[in-house]
Amino acid sequence: GKHRIVIPCLGHFKEEYEKVSKLYMNNKIQTTRYTLLNFLPRNLFEQFHRVANLYFLFLVVLNWVPLVEAFQKEITMLPLLGVLTIIAVKDGLEDYSRYKMDKQINNLVTKVYSR
C-alpha cells in the first residue's frame, strides 16, 4: 500500500510536503454527530428508533383513516410534534457544545520535541 514520507525540515521541501500530506488523515478531533445539512433527517431517524415515538406516529397515522378517527387530526399530531421538537432542540444544543469543545481542543498550542 501507501508509505509515509517524513520531512523534518520544510525549507526546500515545502511543496512536496503539502502534496504528500493530503494523502493522510489529520489528527483533528470531531465528536459531533450532525452537520447543518444532515441534522433534520438524521435526528428524525434517531428519534423514530424510540418505541414511544413510533407509537405516537402510529396513532397519528391511524387517526388519518376516516373509519378509525377518534380525535381531530391536528390534535393527535401535537404531542408527537412537541416531543420531536424538544428533543431536536436538546440534541442540537448538545451537538453545538460538542462542536465548540472540539474547536477549542483542536486549536490548542502544542509543543513538539525532536532530537
* Global pTM value: 0.69
Q: Residue 29: which pLDDT band, with cuts at 50, 70 and 90?
A: confident
Task: Enumerate residues 6+ apart whose C-beta is below 8 A from 70.
Answer: 63, 76
Q: At residue 95, does pLDDT exceed 80?
A: yes
What are the grid coordinates assigned to 106, written together?
483542536
Indicate if the alpha-carbon torsion angle 63, 66, 69, 71 is positive or negative. Answer: positive
57 vs 76: CA distance, rounded Å: 9
For the stretch 56-92, pLDDT in tens is 899 888 888 888 777 788 888 898 999 999 999 999 9
Helix, strand or coil, per DSSP, at residue 38: coil
